[in-house]
Amino acid sequence: MTALGLQSPVAAMKGVGERLAERLTRLGIERVEDLLFHLPLRYQDRSRLHPLGGLRPQQEVLIQGQVLHAEVVVRRRRALLVRLGDQTGQITLRFFHFGSTQRNQLVTGQWVRAFGEARAGVVGLEMVHPEYRILAEPDGEPLEQTLTPVYPATEGVGQATLRRLIGLARAYGGLHDWLPVDRLPDTLRYGLAEAIELIHAPPVDADTAALLTGRHPAQRRLAFEELVAHQLGMARLRAEARTENAPPLPAPTADSLCARFVGALPFALTGAQQRVMDEIAADLSRAHPMLRLVQGDVGSGKTVVAVAACLQAVAGGYQAAMMAPTELLAEQHYRNAERWLAPLGVRVVWLSGRQRETQRSEVLAELADGRAAVTVGTHALFQEAVRFARLGLVVIDEQHRFGVHQRLALREKAADGGWVPHQLVMTATPIPRTLAMTAYADLDYSVIDELPPGREPVVTVAIPDTRRSEIVERINAAVGRGQQVYWVCTLIEESEALQCETAEATYALLTETLPAVAVGLVHGRLKAADKEAVMRAFQQGELDLLVATTVIEVGVDVPNASLMVIENAERLGLAQLHQLRGRVGRGTAASSCVLLYHPPLGETARRRLQVMRETGDGFEVARHDLEIRGPGELLGTRQTGLARLRVADMAQDADLIPAALQLAHALASVGSAASDALIRRWVAGGIRYAQV
C-alpha cells in the first residue's frame, strides 16, 4: 500500500467514508490536496468577546452572558426566547427549533457563550439561532486563537466537517511549491505552504481587513498561482485544438479573390487592418484550426477583415459562415457581403430564424450541396437542420453575445468531414488586453488599434432632459447639412415591449415637431421585413432621422449619420454608451453625441457621463468601466464562455496578469511536470466556464 499523501483520494482519510467522499466531489474535492485549495469565502472573528452593551445590528460577534430569563412564547410561531445579560447590557436569543434539552439547558443563571449576527428585534437586539455553548463557569473556555474560516459548503458537508478535514490535510505536509519565491512578484514573496496556512488559520493579528477583501498578500500569492495555472490550462487547450485537422487555405496572392475584393474597395486598408488580415491569412493557411479573436474599437473596420477571411476560404474551395448576434446586424452584413461579393461571382446567402419556410429550405439546400459560398446569419446557423457541404471558416461577430458553447456547436457543423473549421471571433467590446487574454485565453489575439484616416472624434455632451428643445435645433441643423441622425430610446427595464412603446411615442412626437424631417422608426417588435425596409431606407438616405431602441446598439453602419441622441443615458453602462456612440463618427463629417439625462444624477452615473465626455477611445472607456463596475459586469456576468476563477479576481488582481502570463510561458516551455501539476491543482476537470 502506498503511503497516504496529499495526492491520495480523500476517501483514504480517517473518517471519510464513501458517502462523504462522494459529497465532497460536489465541491471539487477529490484528493487530499484539494482540501488545502478549498479556500474560505470569508472569516468570522471568535477571538474576542463583545460586551453586550456595545453591540450594533448586523454585527457578527461572539458574546457571553448569563441567562436572565427564558420562556417559550407562541405568537405567530412558537419560539424559545432567552434573555442574556452581562454587566454592560442585554440581548435576546431566539430559537424557533428547539427541544427539551435546550429548554433545560438555558435556564436562569446559566452562563452561555454564543456566536451569531446581532439584529434589531422587537425589544432591542436579538440573535436568531446563534451557535451557542453552555459554560460551566464564565472563564472556563479559552477563546479561538485564529480567525475562523467559513468555507463554501454543500448539503451534507457543513462547516464543522470542512474545518476538521482541512485541518487534517494541513497536517499532512509535503505540499509541493511549483512557484518558488524567486519567481513570484516582489510583493508576494510567500511560500505556498505558508500562504495556505495563513489563509486557513489566520492569526488574530493578521491584517483582517485585507483578508476579508481578498487583498492579503497570501491570498494574492494564490491568485497569482491560479492565474498561472489558468494560462497553462488554456495554452494546453489551445495546443490540443491545434492538433485537430482543418483545411489549409492557401494565402491570397496578387490576383486572388481576396486581392480583387480589397482592390475594389473605395478606400485603402489601414495599417492595422492589413496587419490583422496577414495574421489571419497565415493562420488559415495551416492545416490546423485557427482560433483567433480580433478586437477593434467601434468603427475600426472589422467587417472587411472578416470578409477577406471568408474569401480565402472560398478561394480554397470551402464555405464560410458569418454569424451576427442580431437580425439587424446580420442583415447589414448580408447586404454588404452581397454588394461586395456578387460582382466577384461569389454566391452569398442569408439564413435567419424568421425566414419563410420555403425560402429557408432553399437556403438549407444550398448550404448542404455547397452552392452557397458565404452564408450570413444569426444564431439560426447553430440549428440542427443546418448542414454544410464543406464548411472551412466560421466568423463570429460581436463575440460577447455568444458563448463558448455556441462557438463549439458551430464548429461541430463540419465535424463529419474529418476536420473542424477555422474560427474567427470579432468583438468591439473593448477589454484591456491582459483581461482579454485571461477571459478568452483559448484564442489567439489580434487588435485593430487604428481607425480609418479622416475620422473626427465624436464630440460628446451631456444635457439634462429639461433642455430637450435644444436638440430639436441640432437635428434641424444636421439634417440641413445633409446628414443623418439617430435618436435612441432606452429604458432600464429589460422589457422590450415598454421600450418599443417609448420609441413609438418619441417617434410620434418628433414627427410632429419636425415636419420637414423624414423620420423612421425601428424596434425589436417590428417584423423582420419591416425592420429591414426601414434600415435600408435610412442607409440609403431616404430617412433623415431614425428613432430606435437599443436594437441598433452593435454594428449598424451608416457613415452619413453624424448625430446620436441617447435618451436616459444615465441608465446605461459605459460599454453600451460607447457602442451606441460608435454608430456615428464613421464617415468624415464632424459628429456629435448628445447624452440626455434625467436629473438628479447619481454618483456612478455622473462619473460615467464624464468619462464619455472626456474620451472617445474604447480601451480608455473600458479601463474606466473596469474601475467603476468590475470585470464581471464588464464582460457580462450572464454570458457563458468566460473562464471562472476560484481565488483570482480579474479586477483586483489585474496587475498580476502580465507577470502570470510571462511565468506561464516560461513554465510551459520548460517542460510539463510543473504545468501538469498546476493545471491539476487549479483547473482540474478542465477549464471551467461560467454557467448561464
CB-CB contact of 626 with 492 (8 Å): no
Contact letters (x/-) for Mg ion, 288-307, by CB under 5 A?
A: --------------x-----
Residue 430 interacting with ligand ADP (CB under 6 A): no
From residue 257 to residue 296, the character string flagging contacts with ligand ADP as x (rule: CB under 6 A) and all else as - is: ----------x-xx--x----------------------x
Binding mask 553-582 for ligand ADP (x = CB under 6 A): --x-x-x-----------------------
Distance in angstroms (rounded) separating the CA atoms of residues 215 and 217: 6
Nearest residue to Mg ion, scored by beta-carbon proximity: 555
HSE of 398, CA atoms in CB hemisphere, 13 A: 22
Interface with Mg ion: number of residues (CB under 5 A): 2
- Residue 265 in grid coordinates: 474597395
CA distances in angstroms from 72 to 41, 46, 57, 66, listed in the order given: 35, 29, 24, 18
In the chain, what's the furthest Cα-to-Cα distance?
A: 97
Size of the site for ligand ADP (CB under 6 A): 18
User: Of residues 446-485, which lie at the interface with ligand ADP (CB under 6 A)?
Assistant: 452
Of 233 and 555, CB closest to ligand ADP: 555
Nearest residue (CB) to ligand ADP, 54 versus 271:
271
The answer to whether residue 304 forms part of the interface with ligand ADP (CB under 6 A) is yes
* Residue 301 binds ligand ADP, judged by CB under 6 A: yes
Q: Is residue 92 involved in binding ligand ADP (CB under 6 A)?
A: no
Q: Taking CB within 5 to 8 Å according to partner kind, which of ligand ADP, Mg ion, none is near residue 295? A: none
Closer of 302 and 523 to Mg ion (Cβ):
302
Q: State the minimum distance, in angstroms, from the CB of residue 449 to ligand ADP.
A: 12
Task: Give the nearest distance from C-beta 202 to ligand ADP in angstroms.
Answer: 49
- In 285-431, which residue ranges form alpha helices assigned H by DSSP? 302-315, 327-341, 357-369, 404-412
Taking CB under 6 A as the criterion, the residue among 64, 92, 300, 576 binding ligand ADP is 300
How many Cβ atoms are within 10 Å of 14's Cβ, its own excluded? Answer: 7
**Of 83, 113, 302, 578, the one binding ligand ADP by CB under 6 A:** 302
Nearest residue to 82 (alpha-carbon basis) of 56, 121, 138? 121
> Residue 158: phi, psi to the nearest 5?
-95, -175
For residue 634, give the nearest of 649, 613, 616, 655 by alpha carbon.
649
Q: Provide the minimum distance between the beta carbon of 402 and ligand ADP in the complex, in angstroms, as a whole number.
A: 16
**Cβ of residue 299: shortest distance to Mg ion, in angstroms?**
8
Separation CA 135–CA 118 (nearest Å): 21
- The nearer residue to Mg ion, 332 or 438, going by C-beta atoms, is 332
The separation between CA 677 and the C-alpha centre of its own chain, rounded to angstroms, equals 27
Does position 586 interact with ligand ADP (CB under 6 A)? The reply is yes
DSSP states of 435-492 as a string? HHHHHTTTSEEEEE--PPTTPPPPEEEEEEGGGHHHHHHHHHHHHHTT-EEEEE---S
Any contact of residue 555 with Mg ion (CB under 5 A)? yes
The three cell numbers of residue 684 are 482540474
Q: How far apart are CA 493 and CA 491, in angstroms?
A: 5
Indicate the DSSP class of residue 269: P
Q: Between 46 and 333, whose beta carbon lies closer to Mg ion?
A: 333
The site for ligand ADP (CB under 6 A) is made up of 267, 269-270, 273, 296, 298-304, 428, 452, 555, 557, 559, 586
